[in-house]
Amino acid sequence: MCRAAGKAQCKTCPDARPVVLPENEDSVTLWCEVCNTCWRIGVLGERLGLDYMQVEQVARWHEIELRTPRIRNGIRLLERLTMEMKSGA
């Protein structure tokens, strides 16, 4: 259901859920777990980046190998996009 129009979602709806490719499911699972809790925070409360020690611990809990390039690059991409979005860049 579209939150904006109160009707079925169309393909161009900005509120539509992104399609997750099967090969990215573990990266997205890990991101969903760390995106709200594993940030390094600066003095003024701004996000400085992910705390990768915590991210690695969460990955171990979910039995996801963070050291593989595909997972590591996916998490770094999502981190960078989030930082850009928060900074208004």
pLDDT of 24-41, one tens digit each?
Answer: 888 888 988 888 889 999
The whole-number average pLDDT for the span 14-32 is 79
Nearest to 29 by CA among 55, 49, 1, 68: 55
Per-residue pLDDT tens digits for 41-79 = 999 988 899 999 999 999 999 999 988 999 999 999 989
pLDDT of residue 56: 93
Please return the burial class of 24, using the count of CB atoms within 10 Å of its CB with bins 0-12, 13-18 and 19+: middle
The domain limits of the chain are 22-87
- Higher local confidence (pLDDT), 27 or 16: 27
- Higher local confidence (pLDDT), 29 or 14: 29
